Chains A and B, each alone.
Chain A
Amino acid sequence: MKDIIRAQLRQARRTTMLYIIFFLLAGSCAVGLLNATVDGASASAVTAGDGKLIAAFSLMFLGTAASWICGADLEDKTVNHEMTSGRLRRDVYLGRVIPAMAVAVTGTMVLMFMVFGITTALVGWGHEIPLSNALLRFALMVFPLLRLGAFSSAVTFVTKNRVTGFMVCLYAAMFSLPADTLPFEWLRDLLGNYLLLSPLTFGKLCTFDSWYVYGCADLKMHYIYYPELSGSLIAGIVIVSLIMTAVYLLLGYHFFHTDDLK
């Protein structure tokens, strides 16, 4: 299995598409964040205010990487050749899922860290939210990212199609957005009120409870953020994410295990 993992990582390193997506997303996110700092806002202010949108954008890389690594060899039948040459299905599956999730999660974390890092270097962190809290939230993002990576990988194995895996991941990423940032009212209603999927996901880590006041002379708003995370929320994020990661991987493997070689 190790050689398959190594091969997949080498293949990922040479996939130009992943680099293009990564730098396109990094560029557009950085421009978006820096644009938000034009009126003097600090990095912590834009993180608290617009961080959720940047983070949701970054999930596009997660979907791309996970579905690309899992799906490429399914589409060109490399997987079939491996199994007909005596490889265990378990090795073939994990040999793709593990590097896919590793590249997807690491790449997404690096992308976010880079964008927020550049912004901080240019305009300073500021005092809207403590850096330690932002770093804690950043570290906790690994868990929902693993969950989404596993979901995308499993879907790719079921459909044997990279685009489906990516699209489904992208759709799932929308559940991570806080309902009030969604563009259409019907979508806000659907995701905000009628789905069980929102409370313990990525979106919770990107959103800061806030209060604002303003002056009547210029209507300039001043935000107060409440960045603390409760212990139960942290535990919920970690436990539910790990359980669902295992469930998705198990479902994906079970399907792949009994699937025909077509």
Chain B
Amino acid sequence: MAMTMTEKILAAHAGLSEVRPGQIINAKVDLVLANELSAIVAIEEFSKIKGAKNVFDPHKIVIIPDHFTPNKDIQSAKVAKKVREFALEHHTLYYEVGRMGIEHVLLPEQGLVRPGQLVIGGDSHTCTYGALGMVATGVGSTDIAVAWALGEVWLKVPPTIRVEFKGKKKPWVSGKDMILYMIGRLGVDGAIYSAIEFCGEGIEELSVAERLTMANMVIEAGAKNGVFAVDAKTEEYVKAATNQPYTVYTSDPDAEYAQTIVYDMDDIEPQVAFPHLPSNTKPISQVGEVTINQVVIGSCTNGRIEDLRIAAGLLKGKKIHPRVRCIIIPGTQKVYLDAMKEGLLETFIQAECVVSTPTCGPCVGGHMGILADGERCVSTTNRNFVGRMGHVTSEIYLASPAVAAATALRGKLADPGQL
């Protein structure tokens, strides 16, 4: 029977010749990811599993302390310590501060995630890796603990929604704008329990970095996973990261989709998601006068070198607005180093931005840029829920690195095309 990419990958990992939407399967996982906040709960649950002494395969378990690290306070330091001890005791893959990065920037960069895999992570943005033609999805800590023990996860096969982007990007439009545009139309539960399969000319022209940005935010429409076909760009990216083998799956031409949605790239301009939902989007031409206190450029959504290049291109030779604090957070140590070699860090510092070590930090309301009451932040992150980045009355506006950099210069929401 005809199947979608998602169905084929799930079937292969469940040892079945075919699966159907709604079917519950036990699937073998290729990699189990946890950060320090999901790991700390998972370690406790793992200790309660009767008969579980060792993890199923230490090479398929990766633990990355990235949320509140470098440790923001004593409580966070205790969490990181306990997680580190578990990782060392069980010989799992582990990336310490100095070698770590934001998990969803680091794993593709390190070649740990590859086409055809099934990966679960104790972090909702694990869906990022679908950009590489695989099934990746977020789960909770108990799921992580059980996957550590058994190497398996129970999953309900999702129906697939096909989302086609017709035509080519307009100037200053990026993958971030395309995914915000989609979420604005679908709503924050428009793809609930479903897979989203992206296709069309608008997708084909995107860099792998932009595809990772888009896949990162499918959870913001409620989706289980987002998936992109593997093409020459994907293969080039993966081969540069690893010499490990991978499997390419393609959707059958007559595969069944729950629905097909078509967007026209001509209708898409840079987008801003207003508080307090990622779906509350407006095109940049209609944002009005919104003054801004802080700009954050980074995160698992937009913390890649391509993102920093775009921001630096706009900030080069200029100073940010005197009332604005601009925080740049490279996603990994490699991104940081590349940014240094390319002179981007100097551009940022000359522009009077601050450059942070890799961390999730402010995105999750942890540290490195928490907002006071009433403050407004434009952020390249993925969520703008109430209180997400600080005080309950603060506001987050989600946008691309280009819109964020333009806003840092103007001190108010700004169109990079109008600078």
Genuine A/B complex: no
A-binding residues in B (CB < 8 A): none
B-binding residues in A (CB < 8 A): none
